[in-house]
Each structure stands twice: as structure tokens, then as C-alpha cells.
Amino acid sequence: MKRVAAARLRRAQGRVSAGRPYAEKLAEVLQRVGAHAGQIEHPLLAVREPRCAAVVAIGSDRGLCGSYNSGLIRHAQSFIAQLDHPVKVVTVNRKATDFFRRRPQYDVIKSFVGLSDQSSAMEISVLSGYLRDIYEAEQVDEVYVCYTEFVSAVVQRPKTARFLPFSRDGADDESAGGSLSDYIIEPSAAELLRALIPSYIDTEVYHLVLESAASEYGARMMAMTNATENATEMIRDLTLTFNKARQAGITTELLEVVAGADALAEG
């Protein structure tokens, strides 16, 4: 299982690395186009008074990965407790779904199962599309995603990212849009920005699912390493105990033979 997790970890890291240039370039385009778009109206840009929030918890479908799921769930619980308004929970994969659905204090409105690094961008876009829909329909006023950041195969860190409303960081920075001053944008910058925002959100959700999957494989590698070491140590201790018991039995038998021989000699 350790070898399988290591192979899947390398594959997940490869997919994260392969998707990073696209995400970075898309963010750059959003920033530069946003500087020319001015004040536009878009449902995903609308900032409302937070009356209800959605919290997405990304877990795993399988166990045997150490404290990966328990750490993520504790982090999500702590974050939900900090919010001072009602929270609706969206769970991703079976472990998070089983935990939150069994506890009536959490309002689980939707669950997604089977999303991993092996899922296509189209399959994962179902999740991001649902988050966009409930925000645009004003069912929630904020959307947060609790996921596990992949630091290394040894370190995975639960984190929370604010997802909606979408923030146009740097959109009003003149330097960001200076490189477009010599270009004519077709269609208009505002129209282009309206089309790019949903794509960027889909890309970010896809990236977080891949990063959570990489963290899961890293945690499973460490769990299997610890299990192997513990089993090896247990085998060593049991072998030592068995040898001691065996030696004690042999010694007892020798003493009995010697005692019997002495008794016959005396007789």
C-alpha cells in the first residue's frame, strides 16, 4: 500500500504541476483585464451582508491514511464554530460525508463522492458549478473551502480558503493593466471578465481537489510506513519473548532429566 500511495502521489503532484501554469496565466489575465473592466456587475462579484455561509469540506473516500481525515474534520468544525451566522455544509467524498451527515447539528445540503486526482476537470466542475449556483441564487452569502494543503509527503496542513464572493485583487492596479494599453480588447473588457470569472473558479476548485488528493496519498504513505515499523518492532519483541519462553522450557526439561538421573543413581 505504501508503494501504491507513492506512485499515486507522484502522479497527483504531476497533475498539480501541469495545471499550475494555466491557473497562473488565467489569474494574470483576470488581473490585467480587470484593470480595464471598470466597475462591472456580476453575480459572483456581489458582496452581501453575510447571513448564511457555505463551508465545503474535502475529505477522502478511503481510510488508512493516518490523521488526514480527522485533522481536516477538526479544522472544519473549528472554523464553522467561529462563524457567527448559520452555516450550510457541502461535503466531498465519503469520510467527510459520513461524519457530518451523522451529526444533526450540521446542515448538510449536498454531498459529492468519488472526486479525486483521477477525476477529470469536467467531473470536478460539477462541484464548482454547484457552488456558483447557490451563491448566484443567494442561498448563501459566502463560500469557504476547507481542504488539506500539500506541503510535503510528511507534512499536510488543513486550511480554509474563502472562495466566494470572487475578489478582484489587483484589478484597480494601473501597473497590472499597463501592458494592455496598446491593445484593443474584443469583446469588451467587462464582457471578457464576466466569461473568465467562472472559468477561474472552476480551475481553483480543480486545483484544491488535486492538492487534497496529493495530501491524502502523502498521509497514507506515512501511515503505512509507521504501520510497517510498528509491525516490525512487534515481530521483534514477540520473537524475543518466544525465544525466552522456549529457552526457559528447554532449561526446565534439562533440570527434570538431571533430577531424574540423580534419583535413579541414588536408588
Q: Does residue 55 have a pLDDT over 90?
A: yes
Burial readout 37-66 (b: 16 or more C-beta within 10 A, e: otherwise): beebebbbbeeeeeebbbbbbbbbeeeebb
Q: Does residue 243 lie within any of the structural domains?
A: no
Q: Does residue 175 have a pLDDT over 50?
A: no
Q: Does residue 224 have a pLDDT over 70?
A: yes
Q: Which residue has the higher pLDDT, 144 or 36?
A: 144
Cα–Cα distance measured from residue 131 to residue 23, given in angstroms and rounded to the nearest whole number: 19
- 3-class state of residue 230 by DSSP: helix
DSSP state of 104: T
Residue 132 structural domain: 2-223
Q: Does residue 81 lie within any of the structural domains?
A: yes
CA gyration radius, the chain: 29
**Which CATH number characterizes residue 78's domain?**
3.40.1380.10
Nearest Cα residue to 92 out of 133, 45, 127: 127
User: What pLDDT score does 253 carry?
Assistant: 86
pTM of the model: 0.75
Q: Which residue has the higher pLDDT, 238 or 47?
A: 238
**What's the structural domain count of the chain?**
1
User: What pLDDT score does 170 carry?
Assistant: 43
Q: For residue 101, give every residue at least 6 positions away whose Cβ sits within 8 Å of its Cβ, in sequence order, or none.
A: 91, 108, 111
User: What pLDDT score does 39 carry?
Assistant: 66
Nearest Cα residue to 220 out of 61, 90, 73: 61
Q: Does residue 45 lie within any of the structural domains?
A: yes
Q: Does residue 97 lie within any of the structural domains?
A: yes
Q: Does residue 106 lie within any of the structural domains?
A: yes
Cα–Cα distances in Å, from 205 out to 97, 108, 245? 18, 19, 59
Cell of 116: 479525486
Q: Does residue 159 lie within any of the structural domains?
A: yes
Q: Among 53, 54, 65, 73, which one carries the catalytic annotation?
A: 65
Q: For residue 176, give every residue at least 6 positions away whose Cβ sits within 8 Å of its Cβ, in sequence order, or none.
A: 31, 32, 34, 35, 170
φ and ψ at residue 106, rounded to 5 degrees: -105, 135
User: What pLDDT score does 119 carry?
Assistant: 81
Query: Is 146 annotated in the active site?
Result: no
